[in-house]
Amino acid sequence: MAGYQPQLNPSGSVSLPEARIPTTNSHHSTGELPPQTAGGLASIFHRANILADLGAIEQRLLECTHSRVAVISAAGAHTVRSGGKRLRAALAVLAARLGHYQLDRVLHPAAAAELIHAASLVHDDLVDQANRRRGQITVHARWDNDVALMVGDYFFALAAAEMALSPDPRIITFYAEAVQTICEGELSPVTVAEPFDRALRQYLYKTGAKTAVLFEAACKAGMVAGGGSDEQIAALGRYGYDLGMAFQIVDDVLDFIGDERTLGKPAGNDLRQGTITLPLIYATAASPSPLLREVLAQTPPDDALVADVIREVIAVGGVAAAQTEAERYIEQAIAHLAIFPASPARQALIDIARFVIERTV
């Protein structure tokens, strides 16, 4: 099956590689970028000459989220300005630049990707009752649950309107199928950390459904906007999917080794919520530790145990194994770009893949 396959040692437990903590990228932002865009990405966007394009997409997001209803306008502006890396929009732009590029053809598909992403996060935070994301107060915490529900719905409707303005009906299909899959993924939790095969299967499905499919759709939409062939569209879709898988796995790794000041949330946040992620799955397969079984039996776990569990997961190689799996997806993603000739856009997509595996935020 897909996924890193750990090696059994003579005792019957699993041998995993030594943990590798990503190093901080030293690049600094250049030009005007959306909030939260990391320095490494800023440098990549600058070299690819897409800063102005992303600025136009950011302006489009601010314009289209304005409403006649004051609370929707306020909550919508708060959501847009809380930002993110605008990575999905950048992927759409770069995919289009692999073909016959015109900003007006990719503007709406790129905005749609960010609106879908924002809507799903607003709803996620509502379901999880999370008060902060990336260090910013969430919509339901600043206003209330009803506002968060309506703002998420409003953003999905805005995304549909952006799709309708897109240059090819296939783009609507890509995003509609992605949203369906995201909803299915949200209701498909990882329920076990062992047996290993079952846990890994659940995790990879949920990660693909909740995260990777929107990366895939944004890349395919951009390639369609650039007039790509069916083969090129499929290749970009595979790149986006594998990139999205790696992105989420690294997110889960950072939950164990990340800096709270950088991430905007404490280490072990997933553990505290009872969420089973890949480092914990690998650690459970590698170690007969009673501590790991104890924390898995609690939903949510005793907060006093979280720091000990983090240390145990790192010590037995769970973090390193998850990082290895993310690296495998990145290698696959880059390989999918081989059908395209060398260009600044292709290089930027390669650089983004490398950024994802090294990111610290």
Encode pLDDT of 281-303 as tens digits.
999 999 988 989 888 887 677 77
CATH number corresponding to 26-358: 1.10.600.10
Could you give the CA distance from residue 29 to residue 289 in angstroms, rounded to a whole number? 44
Say if residues 218 and 233 touch (Cβ distance below 8 Å).
no
**pLDDT averaged per 10 residues, the chain (length 361):** 42 44 32 53 95 96 92 91 88 98 97 96 86 83 91 96 95 98 93 92 97 98 98 98 98 87 72 91 92 82 86 95 97 98 98 92 69
What per-residue confidence (pLDDT) applies to 132? Answer: 79
Nearest to 54 by CA among 44, 65, 40: 44
What per-residue confidence (pLDDT) applies to 21? Answer: 35
Query: How many residues does the structure list for the chain?
Result: 361
Q: Taking the domains of the chain in order of start, what are their residue ranges?
A: 26-358
What per-residue confidence (pLDDT) applies to 136? Answer: 84
Q: pTM for this structure?
A: 0.88
Q: Which residues contact 118 (CB under 8 A, 6 or more apart)?
A: 79, 80, 84, 155
Say if residues 171 and 216 touch (Cβ distance below 8 Å).
no
What per-residue confidence (pLDDT) applies to 267? Answer: 77
Query: What is the phi-psi region of residue 36: left when phi exceeds 0, alpha when psi lies from -120 to 50, beta otherwise?
Result: left
Say if residues 213 and 178 touch (Cβ distance below 8 Å).
yes
Q: Where are the alpha helices (DSSP H) in 51-86?
A: 51-64, 70-82
For residue 148, the one-letter residue type is A
What per-residue confidence (pLDDT) applies to 269? Answer: 86
In this structure, what token pair is assigned to residue 256? 């164990």
Burial profile 125-137: b = 16 or more Cβ within 10 angstroms, e = fewer: bbeeebeebbebe
Q: Which residues contact 318 (CB under 8 A, 6 or more apart)?
A: 16, 256, 278, 279, 280, 281, 282, 283, 284, 286
Could you give the CA distance from residue 210 to residue 181 in angstroms, rounded to a whole number? 7
CA distances to 48, 160, 280, 281, 347 from 17, in Å: 35, 45, 14, 14, 30
What per-residue confidence (pLDDT) applies to 116? Answer: 97
Say if residues 25 and 355 touch (Cβ distance below 8 Å).
yes
Burial label for 37, CB within 10 Å (0-12, 13-18, 19+), is buried
In this structure, what token pair is assigned to residue 261? 């000041």
Q: Which residues contact 333 (CB under 8 A, 6 or more apart)?
A: 238, 239, 240, 242, 243, 246, 353
